[in-house]
Every structure is written in C-alpha cells, then in structure tokens.
Structure 1
Amino acid sequence: KMLRLLSKEEKMVNVEMGSESVKVVVRCRPLNDREKALSSKMVLSMDLQRCQCFIEKPGAVDEPPKQFTFDGTYYIDQTTEQMYNEIAYPLVEGVTEGYNGTIFAYGQTGSGKSFTMQGVTEPAAQKGVIPRAFEHIFESIQCAENTKFLVRASYLEIYNEEIRDLLGSDTKQRLELKEHPESGVYVRDLSMHTVHSVGQCERIIEQGWRNRAVGYTLMNKDSSRSHSIFTIHLEICSTGEHTYSYITP
C-alpha cells in the first residue's frame, strides 16, 4: 500500500515562465494487523538512493518486478519527521516568504494518508505534516523582524460532490464553488478563522476533523468518506508592502 504526496511550490521564476514545480513522493506503510492475520506478504521494495519502487507479482518467479521512479521514496522504517524536513519544509518556508504552496495526499482507503498528514503525538517523530506546518509557520513569525503576520485558517469537505464548511456554524449547509477573474477559484461563504498560536490551529483542525463524514471499511473503521482541504492563509506586511500567500495541506 502506498501513499503519494504531491507538493507544488509556485516560485516567482516559475510563475514568470508560466510553469510550476511539482514533486511526487511515495511512502510505504507497514502491514496492518488485518493483513498480518491473513498472512499477507510485502511485495514492494525500494531503492532509497535512486528514489525507485519495485513491485513484485506474487508467484511470478520469472517475471521482473515493475519499476517506478519518484522524486522521493520513504519506506516503512522512515518517519514523518524525515519526510517533512526533506519535502515539506522547503515548501512551507516558501509560504512564509510569500509564495503559495500545496501538499496533496493521495491514496486508497487505509493507505496512510491521515497518518502522514495528521500523525500521532507519540512518538514525536511521527507527528503529521499539518501540525508540523503549524509549528514551522509560527516559529518563522516569531523570528521575523519588522514584519507583521495575519494568519487565518479554513477547512472544507467535498462529499458526494457537495462542499461543506467543517468550521462553519452550519456544517450541513451546501456551499458553492465560484471563480473570480483575478483571484481565481474560491468557495463562497467559506468561513475564515484568525489564529494566533499553534494551539489555536490544533483546536480548529480537531473541531473540523470531528465534523468529517466517516464510514466503516474493512481497511479502516474511521475512514473518511470525503476529500478535505485545510488551508492556512498568511497576510504578510513588511515595510509598507502587503503580501498574501497560503498553504493547503
């Protein structure tokens, strides 16, 4: 089972050239208890130096494994901390400098998307990408000189082709997707919440997490039945100039 993490960093030089920098990373989780009970075997191996994955077909001794190459590979013994430092850190750092960025987790149910993005508190090395981004942003704010920041957060869910605000007063209200000629695509009436600390960010995402649509599956009893987008909006004011940027994990 694999998790694909796609990150997009819109650096100024790339924007001027009309292109984007995209990195695709794969992470492999260990066998879960259900798979172990079924005596399942690991069929995936990785060459971490060459960022390559090899998938073997069970029972096909003479058939060579299928090979895939990525911008980064992370096997079962590597932590979220290592992946964040190598992949997500430069992207979030760019956001604090005024560039937009997106981290997109893709994979089938039970593949480990929530584990990578949300993570766990113990061990600390497995804390997720989103809480690490919170800490990263507010550490940058504390270290910044002659600069003011306004940090806001939004959290939405796309379920059965309907958009819901996970932080709104009415989480069942259906929202509309619109497009502005200058700012682009946006969700009308999506609530924005000002945050002043890592703790406030964590409380907001926990609130939205409880409002998700979930359902029992064979792979995950609390599997999300939807796509969710958590966005951190930064407004940066320095020497009389304003810069707007956001990160969407």
Structure 2
Amino acid sequence: TMSGRSKKVKVWVRTRPTQNFAHDMIDMQTDKKAVNIHCPRDMRRGVVNNQVLDWSFKLDGILHNSSQEEVFSTVCAPVLTSSLQGYNSTIMCYGQTGAGKTFTMTGATEHYKNRGLIPRAIAQVFKEIDETPDQSITIRLSYLEIYNETMFDLLSTINPNGGKSNSALPGMTPMTVVEDENGCYIKGLSCHLAQNEEEALNLLFEGETNRAIASHTLNKMSSRSHCILTVYIESRSRVSSEAKYTMSKLNFVDLAGINDLSAVLLSEAWS
C-alpha cells in the first residue's frame, strides 16, 4: 500500500527562466520549500491603509531553472510508477498565460531534451512494459479539450482502423459526463490503442494539431482551452491463470492560462 505521505496531493512550483527575475519581490526558499512574496506599498492609497504586502506559501518543492528531465524525474516518475501499480493518478499544470504550462506538459520538438512530461511518460511506460515480460499490459489514450464549456474529442479525426477519418471532425460526436457504478467517464470520447511508443506519440501529435490555439499578448501560441490526455493502463499477469485485470488511469491536465480563462468567461458573458 502507499504511504500516507505519498497519498496527499503534492504541489510544486516551477519558475520560468528570465534574465530579470523579481528577486526583490519573490523569495524562493528552496531548502524550506516555501515561497515568500512581498509587494511594495502603493503610496497612492495613502500612508495608512490595510493593504496586504506579504504572503508565504508552503510547497512540496521548488523547481527553479530546472531541466525537463529534472521536472519529469521529480514530479512525474513517482506518479507514473503508482499508475503502473494500479492507482489512478493526475498531474495538472496551472498558472499565468505564457508561464510555460504547455511547454512543461508536451515540450518543444526542436531539441530532444525539451520533451515535456507527456512524451517522457509515454516513453517510460513502454520501457516498463518491455522490462516486465511476466505482465500483459495494454495502453490506450484519449485526448479531451474543454472550450467554452463544450467538450471536444481531439482524436476524433482518427478512425478505429487507423489513419485519418474523412468524416469525423473534432467535436462532431456529442459527449456528456456520465456516472455509473464504476465512476465518472465521458460518454462519446474515443479511446485509441497504442501498441508502442511511436503509435502513442502519433496520437499525442494528432491531438496537439487539433487544439484551439490563438495569439495572445503574453503568448503567441496561447492554448485557450483546458486539455486532458488520459493514459489507460490495463495489466494482467501472464504467469498466473487466476490473475484478474488491473485497470488504472494517468491524467495529464493542461489548464488554460489565467488570462485566457478570463477572456473565455468575458466572451460568454457578452454572447
């Protein structure tokens, strides 16, 4: 069983590298796992006011000027191990527009070292499969986008037999949240088998090309939606005739930026 320490929700802060880091306002105490924020007093509000100037946040860790590999090994690798053991797990990115959420999740393709958590996790999953021949493990993927309170299947452009579908378009299949004795799931969301790392990465790249992306003052390629990529893991022992199937899910949630979320809410209010 998992220890009480590992069961709790863990919170990590990753800072985006910059030449002009606000050290006068942000004090990162890496050893104490805390971030202290100090804001200068706004003298326009008068000498005597109730303006809050200081905040302190306790965390599980701080990733400052960290590489993609360090972020994966620190944050994702333990969660991935739990998922392969049968535990449902989730990794979620939240923050300001342009802070690097999508870079952390999916990364960049220019250099191999810039791969994000999702492609690294996919590679690690199939590596674990190759190293455990006594287990029969099946991997499936789904990719969901939520935009303006509407759900879109980012993999609906792929037909069940593989390849592109001429008729299916993202969002054409109506989807609803359904709850049964096994929990909540998205009815109508397609789930695709991936037999190796290459097939899984092709599904990821297909979904990325279908995402709702627009220009933003803080980010030229801003993701205006919430996206959830789910890795479904189904395993069964090859050596035990009475072994039952163990099923688990690993969710990667890339939330819309704070500024993007405000823009979506405003557009709905005026529509």
Write the distance in 1 (CA, Å) between the matches of 2:234 and 2:202.
21
Q: Contact 1:163/1:174 (CA < 8 Å) preserved in 2?
A: no
1:30 and 2:17 equivalent?
yes
Partner of 1:189: 188
The CA deviation string for residues 123-171 of structure 1, in whole angstroms up to 9 with x for no partner, is 5443211011001101110001321011100001000000010000220
Write the distance in 1 (CA, Å) between the matches of 2:61 and 2:176.
33
Offset at residue 41 of structure 1 (A): 4.5
Q: Contact 2:175/2:189 (CA < 8 Å) preserved in 1?
A: no
Secondary structure of 2:9's counterpart equals strand
Partner of 2:27: 45
Offset at residue 106 of structure 1 (A): 0.8
Write the distance in 2 (CA, Å) between the matches of 1:229 and 1:211.
13
Q: Contact 1:162/1:174 (CA < 8 Å) preserved in 2?
A: no
Offset at residue 56 of structure 1 (A): 2.9
Offset at residue 174 of structure 1 (A): 5.5
Write the distance in 2 (CA, Å) between the matches of 1:178 and 1:124.
37
Offset at residue 176 of structure 1 (A): 2.8
Gaps of 5+ in 1: 1-10
Secondary structure of 2:207's counterpart equals helix
Secondary structure of 1:222's counterpart equals strand
1:67 and 2:56 equivalent?
yes
Q: Contact 1:162/1:175 (CA < 8 Å) preserved in 2?
A: no
1:117 counterpart letter in structure 2: M
The CA deviation string for residues 23-79 of structure 1, in whole angstroms up to 9 with x for no partner, is 0111110238xxx7xxx855423111111112232578xx9753211011111x211
| TM-score with structure 2 setting the length | 0.76
1:107 and 2:95 equivalent?
yes
Percent identity at matched positions? 34
Offset at residue 179 of structure 1 (A): 2.6
Residues 208-219 of structure 1: pairs in structure 2 closer than 5 A: 208-219=207-218
Partner of 2:130: 142
Query: Which range moves more in the overlay, 119-128 or 130-139?
Result: 119-128
Matched pairs, number? 226
Whichever of the two has the greater Rg, that structure is: 2
Question: Using a 3 Å threshold, how does the CA distance of structure 1 residues 47 and 183 change in structure 2: closer, same or farther?
Answer: same
Give the strand-richer structure, 1 or 2. 1
Residues 12-27 of structure 1: pairs in structure 2 closer than 5 A: 20-27=7-14
Q: What's the C-alpha RMSD, in Å, of the aligned pairs?
A: 2.4
Offset at residue 13 of structure 1 (A): 7.0
Secondary structure of 1:23's counterpart equals coil
Gaps of 5+ in 2: 43-51, 157-167, 253-271
Question: Using a 3 Å threshold, how does the CA distance of structure 1 residues 64 and 172 change in structure 2: closer, same or farther?
Answer: closer
